[in-house]
Amino acid sequence: MATIRDVARHAGVSISTVSLALNGTGPVSEETRARIDAAVAAVRYTPNLMAQNLKRGQSKLVGMVLGDAANPFFGRLFGTIDKQISGHEHMLIVANLASDPDRELRTLTLLKRHRVAGIIMTPLRNDPEFAAYLNEIDVPVVLVDQDVDGTALDFVTSDHHRGTEMLTEYLARLGHRRIAYVGGQRSMWVARRRLEGFRAAMAKADIPVEPEFEVVADYSADLAYDNVIRLMSAPRRPTAILAANNYMAIGALQAVTDLGFRCPDDVSIAGIDVVAWSSIVMPRITTVEQPIEDLARVASLWMMEHVRGEAVRGGPRRCHIAEPRLVIGHSCAPPPK
């Protein structure tokens, strides 16, 4: 592949002149500039960004770590962030954790070796060892969706607490009192926040939480399915089910349908984050939507500030907490008498 040297030879000028001309970083006569442009075209020169970055001591690469690429939530998040970042020369180098927290550290180290200018990530782990690693990393990091306790990194999320609260309030207003909650692993920050929102709303509505109605299904459709089969087969069964993510909502819907119940006539179902293009299908599931575009916009904005050196690392922590939006579908109704 052609190098700057080839261009220089072909144009009959020195290497430095070519560099000066191409970057517009020094005075070059009109005539020389024309000869250089011609040479560039003739030898098909494409500047080597690795060499440029090495010399300049900076990088045009931004790392992005996704919790689970197969989940449409992450697809839309990535798409929007990419639109903002992949501008002039910057590009995104993306890694997928596939929901496996063990890959997290290795992935971050690999990104460091690639000398990325910054990292946007949706973390899975939330433990002191991981927090310590993040505190020592010398690359700007913006966390999205989930927090890591004990760090002071920029953080963009939606109000998960408020999200389940809104859905719970809605179900309570419809008259439900036996509301089951299908949640994620308690060790995850987001799962805890969502559970707390549920409990807060239940308390406010003065409904006692029944412990057997609070189940953990690890954000998996299959586990949610099994749990809901169990819940709905018990003599005293819930009249409404609140699932803490899209997969579990669909698993729950599948379970009640397979048992011969109709939704919403026999049982109401609501879910967090059931993204638009699946909720078109019947029955449209009542959900709270995270404003993904908004999250992505703020995350990439802050990242670019870091990359351009405008934001200081170690300054006060920046948090952006977006308000989720209640989208009422056809999956909820007053409880059967």
Partner DNA sequence: TCTTGGTATCGAACCGTTTCGATTGGATCG
Partner DNA sequence: CGATCCAATCGAAACGGTTCGATACCAAGA
Given a contact cutoff of 8 angstroms between Cβ atoms, the answer to whether 87 and 110 are in contact is no
Q: Considering only residues 10, 13, 243, 273, which one is a binding residue for DNA as defined by CB under 7 A?
A: 13
Q: Pick what 287 binds: DNA, a copy of itself, none; C-beta below 5 to 8 Å, kind-dependent.
A: none
> Is residue 114 involved in binding DNA (CB under 7 A)?
no
Binding mask 25-64 for DNA (x = CB under 7 A): xxxxx-xx------------xxxx--xx-xxxx-------
Q: Considering only residues 22, 93, 94, 229, which one is a binding residue for DNA as defined by CB under 7 A?
A: 22
Minimum separation from the CB atom of position 75 to a copy of itself (A): 4
Q: Pick what 17 binds: DNA, a copy of itself, none; C-beta below 5 to 8 Å, kind-dependent.
A: DNA
Q: Report the candidate in 279, 265, 280 with the shortest Cα–Cα distance to residue 174.
A: 265
Minimum separation from the CB atom of position 11 to DNA (A): 8
> Is residue 185 involved in binding DNA (CB under 7 A)?
no
Q: Report the candidate in 276, 240, 231 with the shortest Cα–Cα distance to residue 164.
A: 240
> Is residue 96 involved in binding DNA (CB under 7 A)?
no
Calculate the CA 94 to chain-centre distance: 12
Q: Report the candidate in 177, 168, 172 with the shortest Cα–Cα distance to residue 196.
A: 168
d(CA 131, CA 151): 6
Using CB under 8 A, list all residues that contact a copy of itself. Answer: 1, 46-51, 53-54, 59-61, 68-72, 74-76, 78-79, 82-83, 86, 89, 91-96, 98, 107, 109-115, 138, 221, 247, 250-251, 253-254, 257, 277-278, 280-283
- According to DSSP, the β-strands at 325-327 and 286-289 are antiparallel
d(CA 74, CA 121): 11
- Residue 221, φ and ψ in degrees, nearest 5: -65, -40
**Closer to a copy of itself by Cβ: residue 81 or 195:** 81
Minimum separation from the CB atom of position 222 to a copy of itself (A): 11
d(CA 298, CA 284): 29
Q: Pick what 4 binds: DNA, a copy of itself, none; C-beta below 5 to 8 Å, kind-dependent.
A: DNA
**DSSP characters over 28-73:** --HHHHHHHHHHHHHHT----HHHHHHHHT--SEEEEEES-TTSHH
Interacting residues with DNA (CB under 7 A):
1, 3-5, 12-17, 19-20, 22-23, 25-29, 31-32, 45-48, 51-52, 54-57
